[in-house]
A = this chain, B = another copy of it.
Amino acid sequence: MSAVQFSADGRLRHLITLEGVPRAELEALIETAAALRQTALRPVNKLPTLRGRTVVNLFFEPSTRTRTSFELAAVRLSADVINFDVGQSSTKKGETLIDTLRTLEAMRCDLFVVRHKENGTPALLAEHAQAGVAIVNGGDGNHAHPTQGLLDAFTIHRHKGDDFSRLSVAIVGDILHSRVARSDIHALKTLGVRDLRLAAPAQLLVPELRSVGQVFDNIDEAIEGADVVMMLRLQKERMDQALIASDAAYYAEWGLTPERLARARPDAIVMHPGPMNREVEIASEVADGPQSVILEQVGNGVAMRMAVMSRLLTA
Residue A10 interfacial (CB < 8 Å): no
Could you write out 10 A-B pairs with CB less than 8 Å apart? A40-B108, A46-B51, A46-B52, A64-B85, A69-B107, A72-B82, A95-B278, A99-B278, A106-B296, A106-B299
Q: Which residues of chain B have C-beta atoms less than 8 A from A298's C-beta?
A: 103, 106-107
A84: nearest residue on chain B (CB-CB)? B64
Q: Which residues of chain B have C-beta atoms less than 8 A from A104's C-beta?
A: 68
- Per-residue contact bits, chain A 74-100, to B (CB 8 Å; 1 contact, 0 not): 011000101011100000000110010
CA distance in complex: A76, B54 (Å):
10
- Chain A interface size range: 35 or more
Residue A276 interfacial (CB < 8 Å): yes
In chain A between 5 and 34, which residues have their CB closer than 8 angstroms to a CB of chain B? none
Q: Tell me if B72 and A103 are in contact (CB < 8 A).
A: no
CB within 8 A of A295: which of B53, B106, B109?
A: B106
Q: Tell me if A299 and B108 are in contact (CB < 8 A).
A: yes
Q: Which residues of chain B have C-beta atoms less than 8 A from A95's C-beta?
A: 278
Q: Tell me if B107 and A302 are in contact (CB < 8 A).
A: yes
Residue A44 interfacial (CB < 8 Å): yes
Residue A43 interfacial (CB < 8 Å): yes
- In the A-B complex, the 7 residue pairs with the closest CB atoms: A44-B52, A106-B298, A45-B52, A46-B52, A106-B295, A106-B299, A75-B80
Q: Tell me if B54 and A43 are in contact (CB < 8 A).
A: no
CB within 8 A of A71: which of B52, B53, B82, B276?
A: B82
Q: Which residues of chain B have C-beta atoms less than 8 A from A107's C-beta?
A: 68-69, 72, 298-299, 301-302
A68: nearest residue on chain B (CB-CB)? B82
Residue A236 interfacial (CB < 8 Å): no
Q: Which residues of chain B have C-beta atoms less than 8 A from A301's C-beta?
A: 107
